[in-house]
Amino acid sequence: MNLSKYILQWSVTMAKIKKAIEHLSEKKEMNIEFVPVYISKQDFQKKKSEVQTLIARMLVAAQKRGRPSKHDLEEIDNAA
């Protein structure tokens, strides 16, 4: 294969790769709808503390670099 054919083939391949991963760079907005649910005050306090803990862990995990430890993965699986 001569150089010009190689360069053409390389260009086509790279264009396909760029097209394939182009959608990953697009940021999409997430719409969240809150539906009111009426619960007792004790249940509310319990759920509130669980949600606060979960949000705090999500924020900390977002700042952490690298793969989560197995212990962290087990806790996340148990939370779901």
Could you read off the pLDDT of 20-54 as tens digits, one per residue?
666 666 667 778 888 888 889 999 999 999 999 99
Residue 74 falls within a domain, yes or no?
Answer: yes
Nearest to 54 by CA among 35, 78, 32, 36: 78
Residue 2 has pLDDT above 70, yes or no: yes
Residue 56 falls within a domain, yes or no?
Answer: yes
Q: How confident is the model at residue 70 (pLDDT cuts 50, 70, 90)?
A: confident
**pTM score:** 0.38
DSSP 8-state code for residue 58: H
Residue 14 falls within a domain, yes or no?
Answer: no
Name which residue leads in pLDDT, 75 or 44.
44
Residue 9 falls within a domain, yes or no?
Answer: no
Residue 44 falls within a domain, yes or no?
Answer: yes
Residue 7 falls within a domain, yes or no?
Answer: no
Residue 67 falls within a domain, yes or no?
Answer: yes
**Residue 45 burial (CB count, 10 A):** 11
In this prediction, residue 64 carries a pLDDT of: 65
**Residue 57's domain spans which residues?**
40-80
Query: CB-based burial of residue 76 (10 Å sphere; 0-12 exposed, 13-18 middle, 19+ buried)?
Result: middle
CA-based max dimension of the chain:
77
